[in-house]
Amino acid sequence: MQKRNNSSKKNKSASKVRKENSGKAYLGNKPAKTSSVSVKTTQKTERAKDDNTVRLNKFIASTGLCSRREADSYIESGKIKVNGKIVTELGSRIANNDKVSLNNKTLTNEKKIYVLLNKPKGFVTSTKDPNHDKLVMQLVSKCCSERIFPVGRLDMDTLGILLLTNDGELTQQLTHPKYNKKKIYHVFLDKNVTKNDINKIVIGFELEDGFINADGISYADSNDKSQIGIEIHSGKNRIVRRIFEHLGYKVKKLDRVHFAGLTKKGLARGKWRFLSEKEIGMLKMRSYK
């Protein structure tokens, strides 16, 4: 009997719970539902907060001044002010209406400009250089009013593709070695390159600043073994020249024909053009994967 009475009580209790959960004849508070609403509201508030703020270094890079990494250096050194107050904490966020300045000069977002130059020999890849009177910036001086700067470097005697932009964030993505942006060079040497040396370049060897190897290499002209096509992603200074010099060759001419999916096809030496929307989209898509 005791068992049956307990069972009856359990059934009544279960029935009551079903009523309460169904929302019928239940007049008390509903903590479970209230808790759910509270969480959703908090998440929505956090999303709204994120939507209305941006990391300070990202904003600085978006102005075309520099890359995010360089922006962090400006912040740490105390050169950045937000609404008149110095900010040195990395990771700081700002609102859309905050005023940001560097050395008391207000920073503003500019229209993003992307220019492709077929660099000729004898021009220095620099915005300023008191020791040289031929700068790549002179070749693109009339393309826009915005301040643009070279993405990476080509030494003075190297020809070929050079991208210039005021998009600091994209610049960082295109130049940092960890993103492995493909660069292909057409190399003209003083003598034929042996297959044994080609294998050495593929396998790799030590230079004074570390190990290096090519991502791909082949003869550029089947009838001329002194012309080589080499694919490499390293950003080390004069790396292609040093690879061949290490093996006893002298580079007579070096031409970069491919950079991060861009080519100089149809672009005469010393001339420039704006990137197409398709090319800009391709660069950004590959950079932010």
- For residue 184, is pLDDT > 50? yes
pLDDT of residue 169: 79
E strands in 2-121? 53-55, 80-82, 85-86, 93-95, 100-102, 105-106, 114-119
Helix (H) or strand (E) holding 189: strand 183-189
Spatial separation of the C-alpha atoms in residues 274 and 272, rounded to whole Å: 7
Mean pLDDT along residues 16-30? 38
44-48, 174-178, 188-192, 264-268: least confident range: 44-48
Q: Are 134 and 172 in contact (CB under 8 A)?
A: no
Q: Are 262 and 204 in contact (CB under 8 A)?
A: no
Asked if 98 is an active-site residue, the reply is no
Spatial separation of the C-alpha atoms in residues 61 and 30, rounded to whole Å: 49
C-alpha dihedral (165, 166, 172, 177), degrees to nearest 10: 20
pLDDT of residue 26: 28
- For residue 39, is pLDDT > 50? no
Query: Is the model more confident about 289 or about 207?
Result: 207
- For residue 49, is pLDDT > 60? no
Query: Is the model more confident about 77 or about 287?
Result: 77
Mean pLDDT along residues 126-134? 86
146-168: string of b/e by CB count within 10 Å (b at 16+)? eebbbbbbbebebbbbbbbbbbb
Mean pLDDT along residues 57-76? 85
Q: Residue 226 CB: number of other CB atoms within 10 A? A: 16
Model confidence at 262, pLDDT cuts 50, 70, 90, reads very high
pTM for this one? 0.68
pLDDT of residue 126: 86
11-25, 78-92, 224-238, 260-274: least confident range: 11-25
Domains and CATH numbers, the chain: 53-106 (3.10.290.10), 114-287 (3.30.2350.10)
Q: Express each pLDDT in 140-151 by its tens digit.
A: 999 998 889 999
The vertex-283 CA angle with 277 and 287, nearest 5°, equals 145
- Provide the total of helices (H) and of strands (E) in the chain, helices listed first: 9, 17
Residue type, 279: E
Strands across the sheet containing 85-86: 85-86, 80-82, 100-102, 105-106
Mean pLDDT along residues 236-263? 95
- Kindly name the residue from 155, 190, 221, 224 that is annotated as catalytic: 155
Nearest to 161 by CA among 185, 195, 137, 130: 185
Q: Which two tokens stand for residue 235?
A: 């950003």
Q: Which two tokens stand for residue 127?
A: 């915005």
8-22, 49-63, 246-260: least confident range: 8-22
Nearest to 62 by CA among 158, 140, 171, 143: 171
Helix (H) or strand (E) holding 287: helix 277-287
Mean pLDDT along residues 17-45? 37
Spatial separation of the C-alpha atoms in residues 210 and 275, rounded to whole Å: 35
